Amino acid sequence: MKTKPELELGDAERMLAAARAEAERHGRAVSIAIVDDGGHLLAFARLDGASPASARIAQDKARAAALGRRETKAYEDMINGGRTAFLSAPLNGLLEGGVPVAVGGRVAGAIGVSGVKSEQDALVARAGTQSVADGSAREHFPREDSR
């Protein structure tokens, strides 16, 4: 039976705290969303002064990074490079600022940040991922009694 990495609430809270600290250090009013590998919300914060729209966009960026298993900047680069078909993709978070969290080469979740320039969003997001970069997200083993 295979195992997979899994973000736990403690991981999500550490990521949120690290990203928030980075944003506040630079005076950036952003929204921060952390999702699991299926794109489901685990933790969220909309910092004082962040626009209402940033709340939705941060979640979309996180979801796109988790489900696409790549940074959302890759999608933005493809669109800017002429692959405009991506504009019709069902995920709306195709701007830089969504970063997956990988453990042992497998995506365990992602973080999305919105509220400032895309490259600044990404820097805040990466600060969040670095807080669990040591592989602290646990390997998930199916329970014996779950059959």
How many beta carbons lie within 10 A of that of residue 13, not counting itself?
14
Residue 146 lies in a domain: no
**pLDDT beyond 80 at 140:** no
Local confidence band at 36 (pLDDT 50, 70, 90 cut-offs): very high
**Of 40-44, 65-69, 74-78, 134-138, minimum mean pLDDT range:** 134-138
- When pLDDT is averaged across residues 52-70 and rounded to a whole number, the result is 95
The 10s digit of each residue's pLDDT in 1-21 is: 888 889 999 999 999 999 999
pLDDT at 137: 52
List the domain range (segments joined by +) for residue 107: 4-133
Tell me, what CATH number does 47's domain have? 3.30.450.150
Q: Bigger pLDDT: 6 or 142?
A: 6
Residue 12 lies in a domain: yes
